[in-house]
Structure 1
Amino acid sequence: MDSMTHPVPIATFTINPTVDLSLDVACLRPEGKSRARLRSTRGGGGGINVARGVRRLGGMALAVHTAGREVGARLNRLLDDEGLAHLPIEIGDDTREALVIAERESARNFHVVPAGPTLSAGEERYCLDTIARTAEYCDYFVLSGSGTPGLSAGFSAAVARTVAATGAALIADIAGTQLTTMLAEHVFLLRLDRVEAAALIGRPIAGYDDARAANALLLERGACDHAITTVGALGAVCSDRSGHQLIAAPNLPTPPRSDACAGDSLVAAITQRLTEGADVARACEIGVAAAAATVMLPGTDLFESSTVDTLAGRVRAVRWTDAVAD
């Protein structure tokens, strides 16, 4: 798809995608061979998973991503075969491969992910140029996933400025240095997990009050219009300048299997619902349901839309009316 001539409601960017090999084993053994069944081979990475989730909910998204050498070519083929609209950016280093192992006896999942390729300064600039051309033709632009080794510390901040210049709304789900430098900019929506939120406020995120404190700090800094901090199995807190909303996750009908793509599922559902006219708080309720639907599945499997619909009716939302201080 040509992002410069075909507008789409949502575009995503993944600078460090993966080819995920998902295996089922009865039990991982320390000696000898652990015989496995190949469950799936699919393209992955934050923005690609978000685009996949948007499509699963009936929406349309363009996944922009890097693709390097032989593994990058395989990634492109996998996304083509899946029918996912995507725009690859060719790089000189190999795209990474990840291993996802579901152990049946324990119902545990193991996600083994290498660091990924190193981009040159010229490749970083070309990524920003592509983002600028793509964001001009979408309503929401999602930046999601981990960075590459040696990525310029200010890359995500530059993405924020680039997207802002186009008028698109930026939704960011990033971590580490890339998140820290982006906080000096202003974006539409920031999503934090418990690790990043804990680093922000200097204490663990044990419950909703801690998540609210992290969101309040983001808003007070002027980093975003909307902040969402997830609290694992408890759910999330969604905040804006008018106050905070506690969103309690539904009880699961089956035990959780893997949280590998829970955050991506939440962001996908939020973004898709926003394109349908929902406000952020209501969109986040659906996002929590999508995350819950995903954690019941093994490996990097994403929710089924019918499960999201079922669980959405069990999500509870409570509004805190205290406004964030100026």
Structure 2
Amino acid sequence: MPVPPPILTVTLNPTVDISLEVDRLNDEGKNRARVRSVQGGGGGINVARCIGRLGGSAFALHTYGREVGQRLNRLLDEEGLAHRGIEIGSDTREAVVVAETLAWHSYHLVPPGAELTAIERDRCAEEIIAAAQQGSYLVLTGSVPPGLPEDFCARIVRGIDPSSTRVVLDIAGAQLRAALSENSFAIRLDRREAAGLIGRPVECFEDAQAANDFLLDIGATGNAISTVGALGAVYSNAVFHHRLSAPSPRSPARSDACAGDSLVGAFTFQLAAGADCLHACEYGVAAAAATVMRPGTEVFAPATVDALLPAVRTHRVEREITEHRAVQGLTAAEGP
């Protein structure tokens, strides 16, 4: 009997990603584009792709619907990605990345996706919770379909036995705020979500530390990661902040479309392989840096990640725990 994969990823709102290249976008006439790639996408699918590229074992659970959904399944089958679709009645969305190759500006155009019916939502929740019990990690990431109840992701986390399955969250907006009332093993915030929690832009490591303090103080997680763009990220646990400086790019940045997914994928891959959270996060920062050098929605080459890892610099800062800040965090968590 085959051993179940240790990592389950979930994509509630997948895409068929079409990556195009032009020399330069013009606002008149036709822009004749070259097709760079067409592949299945969405947060959890991208994370599973990253884990597989590193030699890990992941299984992508995702929705799919109608003609575009059938194309998504075919693309994932042809890629060799282990996956299973949950059928819905509406079309899976398509997204477009357009890259200007003369300046390497990249534009990611993503529609909202189809709304799920109440029956489809319940079936998704039941299948996710059942599948998660078979693995060591559940990665819940990416955008959600419009109209999804705000506590949907919180419901998933609540239904998982933390003694057997660790939950890694990389979600946004109302889904994130509702999930903060549960306890996940790790939560990753991008700059926008971190800024929303602390009420100011995240422009430096200190800002990222404040966002991580918020998550830790309210008991949402024991491992918090906030990214700071090209600077890198901060990984925090109960005792220390770790400022992880990203390596200097060896070539110009081309696209950040999958940088966050690369960090989460590499991070979870290392955890499943037995690494501690700090080393796993350092590896994730190297993977994100390797991915921004790739065009469109392409992710890192493993050799590039390994080459960049020694250049990730870690500075440890002891956390200062104050009762006043903990009370502030609890009050903020009760907000809209």
CA contact (8 A) 2:238 2:319 kept: no
Residue aligning to 1:181 = 178
Alignment partners' CA distance in 2, 1:150 and 1:6: 36
Residue aligning to 2:21 = 24
2:92 aligned with 1:108? no
Q: TM-score, normalised by structure 1?
A: 0.97
2:289 aligned with 1:292? yes
Alignment partners' CA distance in 1, 2:268 and 2:162: 20
The partner residue of 1:267 within 264, 269, 273 is 264
Alignment partners' CA distance in 1, 2:68 and 2:55: 29
CA contact (8 A) 1:67 1:90 kept: yes
2:155 aligned with 1:143? no
Alignment partners' CA distance in 2, 1:189 and 1:142: 10
CA shift in 2, pair 1:139/1:325, >3 Å: farther
Q: CA deviation at 1:89?
A: 0.3
SS state at 1:319 partner? strand
CA shift in 2, pair 1:324/1:89, >3 Å: farther
Alignment partners' CA distance in 2, 1:181 and 1:69: 31
CA contact (8 A) 2:39 2:76 kept: yes
2:210 aligned with 1:225? no
Alignment partners' CA distance in 2, 1:218 and 1:14: 23
SS state at 1:122 partner? helix
Q: Give structure 1 stretches of 5+ with no counterpart.
A: none
Alignment partners' CA distance in 2, 1:239 and 1:165: 20
The partner residue of 1:247 within 240, 244, 248 is 244
Alignment partners' CA distance in 2, 1:286 and 1:314: 11
Q: CA deviation at 1:325?
A: 5.0
Alignment partners' CA distance in 2, 1:188 and 1:273: 14
Q: CA deviation at 1:164?
A: 3.2
Alignment partners' CA distance in 2, 1:302 and 1:165: 30
CA contact (8 A) 1:170 1:187 kept: yes
Over the residues paired in the alignment, what is the CA RMSD in angstroms? 1.3
Identity of matched residues, %: 54
SS state at 1:89 partner? strand
The partner residue of 1:7 within 4, 8, 18 is 4
Deviation string 1:179-230 (CA, Å, 9 cap, x unpaired) is 0111111110000001000000001101000000100011000001100000
Amino acid at match of 1:185: E
Residue aligning to 1:211 = 208
Residue aligning to 1:318 = 315
SS state at 2:176 partner? helix
Residue aligning to 1:162 = 159
Q: TM-score, normalised by structure 2?
A: 0.94
Alignment partners' CA distance in 1, 2:3 and 2:149: 30
Q: How many residues align?
A: 323
